[in-house]
Amino acid sequence: MIKLIVLGRQGPKSEIDLFRTLSFSSTPHLVDMLKNYIEFEDFDETKTYDPTDIFLIMAQLYLDPVIRKQFSNCKVIVDLCREAMMADWDHVYRLLEPGHVIMYGSYSDKPVPNVIFVPNFMWYNESLDNTIKGRDSYVPNRNYSHKFLMPIGRKNKIRDQVVEFLESQLEDSYWSYVRRNKALPGEASTVPGAKRWDTRHQNPMWYDDTCFSVVVESVTSWQENIVPMLTEKIYKPIAYQHPFMVIGAAGILKYARSQGFETFENLFDESYDKETVLKVKLDIILRNIENFEKVPYSKLTQQKLQHNYELFYNRSIIQQSMIDSIVRPIEEFINLS
């Protein structure tokens, strides 16, 4: 049994805080999956710890120089297993003390010194969270009335470009842009400029009425988008048995396939996944939308959707993946001399 002394997880008090500090140590359903392998103990400043103790420090605390100095001679794992916080990643990585590592909820095809990648972190979280909330019982009732679903929350330059580029197709879609006060059907209007925090809320109607999803992944600049980061956004259509295209880093579809998920080369030209130039990627995606016919799914598409759904909710596969990507690397870190 691994024991980790945790700093900074003391109680997200709202869903806003939860999503800002999403961590495998502060999320009950993830802790439950690891309870036979890892014991989490909250740090007590009045207690004297053994030199062999391992500390897990939330990234926002690690940015504090006082905290870093206090634990400079300890074995520390910096927990960055949360959404696409690339700016935090860059900052924390530069500040790492000797003997400290980052546990980062993203993917890299090459090892990076002092980093433990947990590329399937968002899969774990979204699947288990959906199951707890009963969303795994969704049964499609499709009518194919609109071409696509494209939810967008935060505003940034890339997302402005996407909306402008796909403008000719938006009339035949369900789309939102929360920071531009554009809501999805059946969704409560928001205060202009505000960001809603119920980002996991999903209305089955959005999927029943549309043929596929256009997923706009979490990036703030195209130069930043060099890692095929998979956030909750790509797992929403998988959970709701929806075909999808993804606007994000080159290789996102390739990585999703490496996880075992099916993509939809039978419906779309998926060469866009190899493109690193945003306009070229959007050109291909626009043609895919224009050429798509609103007809019932073929047997092959239905098989792909069912496969993805069953894999996404496969608890035993998720648990084994968590052991392989979280427990074993922590054991290796602890055992380093």
Based on the domain organization, do 271 and 306 belong to the same domain?
yes
Does 292 lie in the same domain as 181? yes
Residue 63 has pLDDT above 80, yes or no: yes
Among 139, 151, 159, which Cα is nearest to 240's?
139
Query: Given pLDDT bands bounded at 50, 70 and 90, which one contains residue 26?
Result: confident
What is the pairing mode between strands 244-247 and 146-150? Answer: unpaired
When mean pLDDT is compared across 104-113, 151-160, 171-180, 246-255, the lowest value belongs to: 104-113
Q: Are residues 179 and 272 in the same domain?
A: yes
Residue 142 in domain:
yes
Q: What does the angle CA 256 – CA 260 – CA 266 come to, to the nearest 5 degrees?
A: 70
Q: Say yes or no: 98 and 145 in one domain.
A: no
Same domain for 166 and 305, yes or no, is: yes
Is 116 a residue whose pLDDT tops 50? yes
Q: What is the mean pLDDT of residues 48-58?
A: 92
Task: Give the C-alpha separation, 123 to 311, whole Å.
Answer: 10
275 shares a domain with 138: yes
Average pLDDT over residues 180-190: 76
Assess whether 220 and 181 both reside in one domain: yes
- Class of residue 140 by CB neighbours under 10 A (exposed 0-12, middle 13-18, buried 19+): middle
Residue 327 in domain: no
| Average pLDDT for 187-191 | 60
Number of domains observed in the structure of the chain: 2
Across the beta sheet with 244-247, the strand order is: 173-175, 146-150, 210-216, 244-247
Supply the range of the domain harboring residue 265.
Answer: 130-312
271-284: per-residue pLDDT in tens? 999 998 889 999 99
Closest CA to 153 of 222, 84, 101: 84
Together in a domain, 201 and 291? yes
Confidence band for 83, pLDDT divided at 50, 70 and 90 = low
Asked whether 118 and 326 are in contact (CB, 8 A), the reply is yes
- Say if strands 115-117 and 146-150 run parallel, antiparallel, or are unpaired: unpaired
Amino acid 315: pLDDT:
95
The segment with the largest mean pLDDT, out of 40-44, 153-157, 188-192, is 40-44
pLDDT in tens, 326-335: 999 999 999 9
Q: What's the mean pLDDT in 174-185?
A: 85
Q: Which of 61, 91, 118 is the last residue of a domain?
A: 118
The sheet with strand 2-7 has its strands ordered as: 38-42, 2-7, 54-58, 75-80, 100-104, 115-117
Model confidence at 35, pLDDT cuts 50, 70, 90, reads very high
Please report whether residue 293 resides in a domain: yes
Indicate whether 322 belongs to any domain. Answer: no
Residue 103 has pLDDT above 70, yes or no: yes
DSSP-assigned states of every residue in 23-61: -TTT-HHHHHHTTTTEEEEE--TTSPPPTT-EEEEEHHH
The upper half-sphere exposure of residue 245, i.e. CA atoms within 13 Å in the direction of its Cβ, equals: 29
The verdict on residue 325 lying in a domain is no
pLDDT at 207 over 60: yes
Please state, in angstroms and as integers, the Cα–Cα distance from residue 186 to each residue in 166, 205, 261, following that order: 22, 9, 30
Does residue 167 register a pLDDT over 80? Answer: yes
**Domain closes at, from 92, 118, 144:** 118
Residues 74 and 143 in one domain: no
The DSSP letter of residue 97 is P
The letter for the amino acid at 76 is V
Strand partners, 182: 177
Same domain (yes/no): 34, 168: no
CA dist 4 and 27 (Å) reads: 15
Tell me the pLDDT band of 33, cut-offs 50, 70 and 90.
Answer: very high
Q: b/e for 35-61, b at 16 or more Cβ within 10 A? A: eebbebeebeeeeeeeeeebbbbbbbb
Is residue 271 included in any domain, yes or no?
A: yes
> What's the rounded mean pLDDT across residues 66-88?
82
Distance CA 330, CA 337 (A): 13
Q: What whole-number distance in Å separates Cα of residue 110 and Cα of residue 108?
A: 5
> Would you state the pLDDT for residue 106?
79
Altogether, the residues listed in the chain come to a count of: 337
248 belongs to a structural domain = yes
pLDDT beyond 70 at 16: no
Rounded to whole angstroms, how far apart are CA atoms 204 and 212? 13
Cβ neighbors of 337 (< 8 A, separation 6 or more) are none
Q: Within this chain, do residues 41 and 142 fall inside the same structural domain, yes or no?
A: no
Mark whether 199 and 304 lie in a shared domain: yes
CATH number at residue 136: 3.40.50
Q: What is the mean pLDDT of the chain?
A: 86
The tens digit of pLDDT for each residue in 302-315 reads 999 999 999 999 99
326 falls within a domain: no
pLDDT for residue 239 is more than 80: yes
Percent of the chain with pLDDT over 90: 59
